Structure 1
Amino acid sequence: MDSKLFNKLLLIAGFASLAHAAFSAAHHRTYLRLTEQEWNSLPLDIILQTVISLVIVIYNIIEIVGNFKEIRATVDMQQKTWDTLGNFPSFYSFNHRGRALNPGYTPPE
């Protein structure tokens, strides 16, 4: 079985388990209200299910996303030279009105 597919299935199972833990917590709170008991905290099994599901979800999201980029900008900039540091080809503009405003400009034929 493919690793990415397995991680996606575990992620779905983790989210389902988190939803089940939330439903169980709400159900437990409703049960306490109906029996007029005082609410102190959630049962240990719901807390454990929530924590384990959260760990599974976080781990599988990290595995699915893949490689992270380095936070420090210097890591990406180390391979660039001073000549290419300020080079932004997307800002190049060759057809602009400055040429037509030049007194010695003759349009191409």
Structure 2
Amino acid sequence: MAMVWARLAFIVGILSLFHAGYSAAQHRAYLRVTEQEYTALPTDISVQGLLSLLLAMYGILHIAGDFKEIRANVQLQNKSWETVGNRPTFYTFAHRGRALSPNYVMPPSSSPQDMVETLPS
């Protein structure tokens, strides 16, 4: 039964939020027609928008149900402290940083395998 009330609260909140948006657009159009300067929205439209947003948020939170906790340490339980920072996908052997070395000699071929073999030790 609580799920029905949550869905009803969500639907009413969304519809009321759309109505507040439509009322704000109508108010702006009215100000343009009467050539008045826009300063702020009327208080009733602002309050309706805020209450509609809160009602929709309440409804969607109760529709979603219980949240599950995020457990980041599950993947790290089987790793030692030394291997936690190991990221093999970020290994790069053919980068341009080696060209800054004073011992670097440009290889005759430009294949990546040849570049890796000619790196100074």
**Cross-structure match for 2:68:** 69
Alignment of 1:29 onto 2:28: yes
Q: Percent identity?
A: 47
Q: Which gives a bigger RCO, structure 1 or 2 (Cα 8 Å, sep 6+)? A: 1
Unaligned runs of 5+ in 2: 79-121
Deviation at 1:73, TM superposition (A): 2.3
Q: CA RMSD in A?
A: 1.4
TM-score by length of 2: 0.59
**Cross-structure match for 2:51:** 52
Deviation at 1:69, TM superposition (A): 1.5
Alignment of 1:11-22 (within 5 A): 11-22=10-21
In structure 2, the residue corresponding to 1:27 is in which secondary structure?
Answer: helix
8 Å Cα contact 2:7/2:59 also seen in 1 = yes
In structure 2, the residue corresponding to 1:30 is in which secondary structure?
Answer: helix
Deviation at 1:70, TM superposition (A): 1.1
Q: Say how many residue pairs are matched.
A: 76
Unaligned runs of 5+ in 1: 83-109
Deviation at 1:59, TM superposition (A): 1.2
Higher helix share: 1
TM-score by length of 1: 0.65
Deviations 1:57-97 (A, max 9, x none): 111111110111112323xx4xxx96xxxxxxxxxxxxxxx
In structure 2, the residue corresponding to 1:73 is in which secondary structure?
Answer: coil
Deviation at 1:9, TM superposition (A): 0.8
CA distance in 2, matches of 1:37, 1:71: 52
**Cross-structure match for 1:9:** 8
Q: After the TM superposition, which parts of structure 1 deviate over 3 Å for at least 4 consecutive aligned residues?
A: none
